[in-house]
């Protein structure tokens, strides 16, 4: 597989085309951003950690029968992935209510509800990725009702799989953000982007220590050390 020109240069990742029109290469940067790019920093080696964690989690979902864009690692911070047409929606899976959702609902950060919560967001940086409902998503032609049903089913199944996997590793999955696209090779709706401490809240199951991007958001320090802990714990169970 030959890496060719840069087709996307984001805050934390780059995407390159390849000599296969249905495949791309994702390269993870050492940059970390928060609050829609308002807060930004560089942590040496962070891109290697996020790439490898995401590869483990996406690979696990693939093997469990949930299609993702991930194919294989092609470097310590690069992944070969299926090319997709982006669906500008995010479905966020919540085992606990934390962060901005806790503020919005007026509950204690980390509140444990009796149910699992799914949020639908419009993936639009200029608008701040606002929460929207199904009717609004269809009105904007972002997805059909049938596609939304499929995405919700995928998130419910994936959230359960990842919750159980991380529990085996001694990590509690607090929440996780799932993004989707239509695969260039088959047209199927599949999970895209990444699953890592950048897009999921992960707490140590015994101590409650935050092992995710909240360490950067809340100035807790030791960002790469926390990500390294997640990677080692996952390697022990996979």
Structural domains in the chain, CATH included, are: 3-237 (3.30.470.20)
The predicted structure's pLDDT at residue 172: 98
Exposure of 24 by Cβ count < 10 A (0-12 exposed, 13-18 middle, 19+ buried)?
buried
- What pLDDT band is residue 37 in, cutting at 50, 70 and 90? confident
Nearest-angstrom CA–CA distance, 198 and 25? 19
Q: Given a cut of 90, is residue 109 above it in pLDDT?
A: yes
Q: Given a cut of 90, is residue 131 above it in pLDDT?
A: yes
- What pLDDT band is residue 103 in, cutting at 50, 70 and 90? very high
Contact 174, 98 (CB under 8 A): yes
The predicted structure's pLDDT at residue 164: 98
Q: What is the dihedral of CA 202, 73, 222, 118, to 10 degrees?
A: -20
Q: Is 93 helix (H, G, I), strand (E, B) or coil?
A: strand
Give the ranges where the chain is alpha helix by DSSP (H).
46-63, 100-105, 134-139, 145-168, 214-217, 223-237
Nearest-angstrom CA–CA distance, 77 and 28? 6
């Amino acid at each position: 597989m030959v890496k060719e020109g840069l087709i996307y240069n984001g805050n934390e990742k780059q995407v390159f085309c390849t000599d296969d029109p249905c495949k791309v290469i994702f390269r993870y940067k050492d940059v970390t951003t928060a609050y829609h790019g308002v807060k930004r920093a560089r942590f040496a080696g962070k891109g290697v950690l996020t790439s490898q964690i995401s590869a483990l989690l996406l690979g696990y979902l693939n093997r469990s029968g949930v299609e993702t864009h991930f194919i294989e690692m092609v470097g310590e911070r690069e992944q070969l992935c299926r090319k997709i047409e982006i669906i500008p929606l995010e479905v966020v899976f919540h085992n606990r209510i934390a962060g901005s959702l806790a503020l919005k609902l007026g509950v204690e950060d980390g509140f444990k509800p009796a149910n699992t919560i799914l949020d639908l967001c419009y993936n639009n940086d200029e608008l701040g990725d606002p929460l929207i409902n199904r009717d609004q998503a269809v009105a904007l032609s972002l997805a059909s009702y049938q596609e939304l049903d499929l995405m919700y089913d995928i998130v419910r199944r994936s959230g359960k799989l990842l919750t159980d996997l991380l529990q085996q590793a001694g990590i509690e999955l607090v929440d996780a953000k799932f993004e989707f696209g239509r695969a260039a090779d088959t047209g199927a709706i599949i999970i895209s982007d990444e699953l890592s401490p950048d897009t999921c809240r992960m707490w140590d199951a015994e101590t409650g220590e935050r092992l995710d991007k909240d360490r950067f958001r809340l100035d807790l320090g030791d960002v790469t050390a926390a990500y390294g802990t997640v990677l080692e714990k996952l390697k022990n169970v996979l």
